[in-house]
Amino acid sequence: MIEIRPRRLRRGPLVRDLVAESGLSLASLIQPYFVTEGESASEPIPGFSGVNRWGMDALSRRIETDVERGVKSFLLFGRAGSKDSEGTPAYAPESLVARTLRTLKSRFGANATLFTDVCLCPYTSHGHCGVLRGAEIDNDASLEPLSRMALAHADAGADFVAPSDMMDGRVAAIRRTLDLAGHSGVGILAYTAKYASAYYGPFREALGSAPKGDRSTYQMDFRNRGEALRELDLDVAEGADIVMVKPALAYLDIISLFAARAPVPVAAYSVSGEYQMVKELARAGLADERSLLIENLTAIRRAGARVIITYAASEMAEKEWVR
């Protein structure tokens, strides 16, 4: 006689929903968008299915639809119109991202939460995330332009800035700059454990930000776990409001470590390569897109992420796959 029968809690959909330990909701998802020049632009990105670069007006209309469907949080990336060796266009007061922020904040106010990527790579001629001196990234020299970029975004209406550069000390530098400028209410979502990964290909196509060389001297080594906890402790001590792991699916163990240790919410970035793999499997008839997306994102949630950045948020809301 079998005395313990776990299957009793799997007998039907109502029971399974009742006892589910993890779930998805649109409220926990952030939709990234790529902004480009041209008010009405809508440019498909090669190799990035269903993802476009958007002009300011076109993006505003799209976000209006997203908000109506229940997606309320957005992460903005700017495609640079000009670049130089120092990345100075990144922090221009009238940069594309700053202008877009002012437009969106004026239109949506508190009905949309706006995050902005803070990194020099789309704005440097060499494609690196910091200031290049010879063949090396100068960590300390990179902190000022990154802080100035964050301040420009805060001035324009960002709710959160999201430094993705992986320079040492950048969270503290940005927090200090924002506070001194009267932006103590602007939060920092830190890319805390951002790994040097092969999953970023479509994203780099979107922004034209592939580096000359690689980023292994500042992005993390995917063989390491303990190093991620050190980065976590530093970012929290420096003032991060949310800490993030990127990529997500290959780093569920890191998300779980963060969730067990962090005193602040943990986010995970389901990156472009993860998204595109689902699209390719679905296109080949090898997987059901809805089922695979929900399984992947639920696994990220189950590992401990309270916030998930995913390129699929808008589509999932449109098709009512998640509410």
The number of beta carbons lying within 10 Å of the beta carbon of residue 321 is 17
Structure tokens at 116: 């902005």
Which residues lie across from 115 on neighbouring strands?
Answer: 75, 160
Active-site residue 72, yes or no? no
Catalytic residue among 72, 83, 105, 194: 194
- Closest to 125 in 3D by CA, of 203, 210, 216: 210
| Distance set, CA 109 to CA 20, 40, 221, 241, 309 (Å) | 35, 22, 39, 21, 21
| Strand-strand pairing, 42-44 and 52-54 | antiparallel
Residue with tokens 């979107």: 206
C-beta of residue 52 within 8 angstroms of C-beta of residue 68: no
- Closest to 257 in 3D by CA, of 230, 239, 275: 230
* DSSP assignment of 210-233: --SS--TTTSBPTT-SHHHHHHHH
Active-site residue 194, yes or no? yes
* Residue/partner pairs of 292-299 with CB below 8 Å, 24 or more apart: 293/321, 294/24, 294/321, 294/322, 296/249, 296/270, 297/24, 297/29, 297/270, 298/22, 298/23, 298/24, 299/249, 299/252
Residues 6+ apart with CB under 8 A from 172: 238, 239
Cis peptide before 46 (omega within 30 of 0): no
Distance CA 276, CA 273 (A): 5
* Catalytic residue IDs: 194, 246
